[in-house]
A and B are shown apart, each in its own frame.
Chain A
Amino acid sequence: MLEFISRPWPWYVAGPIIGLMVPALLYTAGKPLGVSSALRHACAAVLPGKAEYFKYDWKKQGGWNLIFVFGIFVGGAIASLVLHGGEAISISAATWSDLSALGMTDFSGFMPSQLLSWSALGTLPGFICIVVGGFLVGFGARYAGGCTSGHAISGLANLQLPSLIAVIGFFVGGMLTTYFVLPYLI
């Protein structure tokens, strides 16, 4: 059993587990799955300032969400410490060759060290990927009213038109960056 769960999980195992988070959170917290709201709750808790957007009872509305993301952090730690299979990520040959052609050399781990590491942070490409990328994730998710979990999963599952538009935006934005920005950064 441990050996089985230590290997990388196929999509047909991971997807349904993620999907079941929606009814599980609706039952326990009365809220659908959504992760980016936790960023708002954290801002409301730490530096609300004068903005109306952060003036609400974050403990009551966001307590469940903050505990949930803390759980994600612990899950990430346990998955790596205890359930680590040690395999390199087997990405498709096409992606490997495209990225190699752009100059990527290190394919170990979850992310390329030449863009996403503490030593890369001081370089312009690293700063753009780590800091500008992070900023856009936070700003964009809250502007759109949700991220991959809130829009792509909960929203699409609930047949929400705004979520469909947001998800199209995610993919158009991601593809534009992949084809027109990343080639200059790698």
Chain B
Amino acid sequence: MVSKATPPQIKPIHYLAYGFLGFIFGITLIKSEVVSWFRIQEMFRLQAFHMYGVIGSAVLVAGISLFLIKRFGARDVHDRPVMVAPKEMNGGINVSVGGLLFGFGWALTGACPGPLYALIGSGFSVMIASLLSALLGTWVYGILKPRLPH
């Protein structure tokens, strides 16, 4: 089903759009305090609704958007049909074990990947060490991938 049409021409204006969206995302992460280690503790201790409200309403809005996109067969800026690739399940070990390990890390650092960048930008320079470590973790995963159960 993949068309072999010429790949889209990505122009500077498109890169500007990706950067602008990241900018809005970064401001939102900081201003809603979801970058806060304390807010993540509230979430894992089930003691506040805030994080559940943020994630829940984000899923709802994204879900309605995806429904409308599929319903009306929307096309992207390069006139390609918008498609969301399904997530890989395999035997389910990748998502369950990987998810568990990610959860350990999320509770320790209090930051998932998006907030890492936002926190570094907002001056918490120690998160540079966490980001470098996350890159190392990614690299080690890439090396070990053929030998890990998926």
Q: Which residues of A contact B (CB under 8 A)?
A: 5, 8-30, 32-33, 35-36, 38-40, 42-43, 47, 49, 51-54, 60, 63-65, 67-80, 83, 89, 91-92, 94-95, 98-99, 107, 109-112, 115-118, 120-121, 128-163, 165-178, 181-182, 185
Contacts and interface: CB of A to CB of B under 8 A. Distances in A.
Task: Please classify the interface of chain B as helix (H, G, I), strand (E, B), loop, or mixed, using the class held by over half of its residues.
Answer: helix
Given A40-B142, A160-B87, A152 B55 contact: yes
A76 B109 contact: no
Given A16-B58, A16-B61, A75 B95 contact: no
Given A51-B143, A71-B23, A137 B137 contact: yes
Interface residues of B, number: 117
Interface of B: 7-8, 10, 14-15, 17-45, 47-63, 65-66, 69, 74, 76-78, 80, 82, 84, 86-89, 92, 94-114, 116-127, 129-143, 145-146, 148
Given A53-B141, A78-B23, A60 B54 contact: no
Nearest to A67: B18
B108 to A, nearest CB: 3
Task: Please classify the interface of chain A as helix (H, G, I), strand (E, B), loop, or mixed, using the class held by over half of its residues.
Answer: helix
